[in-house]
Amino acid sequence: MTSPARLRVAPSPTGDPHVGTAYMSLFNLAYARKTGGQFVLRIEDTDRARYQADSEQQVFDTLRWLDLDWDEGPDVGGPYAPYRQSERLDTYRPFVEQLLADGHAYYCWCSPERLTALREEQQRTKSPVTGYDRLCYGKTREERAALPGFSENPVVRMLVPDDVPLEFDDIIRGRVAAPRPDDQVILKADGFPTYHLAVVVDDHLMGITHVVRGEEWISSTPKHVLLYRMLGLTPPAFAHMPLLRNTDKSKISKRKNPAARLTWFREQGYLPEALRNFLQLLAYPPVEGDSELATFAEFVAGFDWAKVNTVGPIFDLKKLDWLNGAYIRTLSPSALADRIAEHYAYTGEWTPSAAELETLRAATPLIQERLTLLSEALPKLQFLFTADDDVVVEEDAAKALNEDAPRVLDAAIPALEALESFDTASVEAALRAALVDGLGIKPKFAFGPLRVALTGSRVSPPLFESMELLGRDSTLARLRRFRTSR
């Protein structure tokens, strides 16, 4: 039995959460649950220039929506609180002092202008040496102040030794090599630690046993391993998940892809369980044989890092659409109706009254079979929530009618008026008898005008069921009104 592992996800609140945050949370959480350990949510808000105030709440909301819940975090607390890095500034300082005292770090007063000029010069001359040139290393403040490009507030840099280990063991990739880092800033001029220092200090203090993050952090890992060594600490295990890619293999970015924003999926009407399943399949084989649908519990039960694939998974929304439809069909109609109502309450587009909710429940079985997104429900069912006098005939629906329409309506209305019971079967039998048998019109032309009269569109949920749902009065009112307009 593996000992309980502690894992974390550590998003930076720099805007609408990225889909990668959910993807990372899913795999971190799976292993925490598998080993009976904990999953921690830590907010890495040390980059004040990119900080966005509402982003943190969006992280909470979207991860909870996906049911990727954390055991410790800024909003729920925990034994290692605070879980927001901006509230831990005093925690980092002694680690910086220790690195300075041990000669593993040094102050640097180089101005941003000097650093930019240095970088440009290295690029222009295609210098084999890149990164910081250690001008400040070994100098006192006074010595450095005598040279150009001096700024009052220093940063602290780590002194990367020649023997910096550039290889590390990755749980899913095996031995991984990364390029040599330069002397990274660990404490900024504003007194905030950089990501590199804060992540190492916090992962250590919070007892994180496994750091599972995106492939884009591989190049940072030697810096972190080195910091652990300099501080005399044992590093955690590392795993770098493959980066999500578009179908054209490009990286998913919030600037280019709406689907990079986690809230986008909710706005579109995806079910959280479908999105979770989709994210799982991106980097992991189907849990059981050919069935791609798996609950989180099933995923956790057999979870194994060895099964994670390392080749860039393709973010194919068509696959997600398919999964979403499949999940929609696993719900009971009444559960689906609730999810539809929740979706519209979330987007603010529609808050059904109690009566409308009842209608929605009754109508859901009619659309469940062909629904891909929750957001498609209302357009399909709008006619049920429209007053009889407000039904508007869409242009293409009007065009599709032929000269049979008045005859059809004239025969349909009395046939329906004569019905004792207005249920689906009776309605269908009466209309078939009056129109198909009575008038000799093919079903397609016989029922088309009725559909348009009822819903205003050419396509609608099944006609006879829709009539039963609307009821006798509404159905007849719509047919008569449409007849007068012809």
| Closer CB to ligand GLU, 221 or 474, in the complex | 221
Q: How far is the CB of 46 from ligand GLU (least distance, A)?
A: 9
**Catalytic residue chosen out of the listed positions 223, 254, 318, 319:** 254
Q: How far is the CB of 391 from ligand GLU (least distance, A)?
A: 51
Q: How far is the CB of 213 from ligand GLU (least distance, A)?
A: 3
| Closer CB to ligand GLU, 95 or 195, in the complex | 195
Alpha helices in 269-353 (DSSP H): 272-283, 296-301, 317-330, 333-347
* Residue 87 phi, psi dihedral angles, 5° rounding: -95, 5
Cα–Cα–Cα angle for 197, 201, 203, nearest 5°? 115
Distance separating alpha carbons of residues 455 and 293, to the nearest angstrom: 35
Q: Buried (b) or exposed (e) across 347-372, using 16+ Cβ within 10 A?
A: eeebebeeeeeebbbbbbbbbbeebb
Give helix 463-485 / helix 354-368 axis angle, nearest 10°.
110
* Residue 283 phi, psi dihedral angles, 5° rounding: -125, 10
Q: How far is the CB of 316 from ligand GLU (least distance, A)?
A: 23
Q: How far is the CB of 218 from ligand GLU (least distance, A)?
A: 11
Instruction: Specify whether 442 is catalytic.
Output: no
Residue nearest to ligand GLU (CB): 213
| Closer CB to ligand GLU, 195 or 327, in the complex | 195
| Closer CB to ligand GLU, 154 or 193, in the complex | 193
With beta carbons less than 8 A apart as the criterion, state whether 319 and 281 touch.
Answer: yes
Residues binding ligand GLU (CB under 6 A): 10-12, 44, 195, 199, 213, 217
Question: Residue type at 450?
Answer: L
Element (H, E) at 454: helix 443-455
| Closer CB to ligand GLU, 11 or 272, in the complex | 11
Q: Does the bond joining 17 to the residue before it have cis omega, within 30 degrees of 0?
A: no
Residues designated catalytic: 254
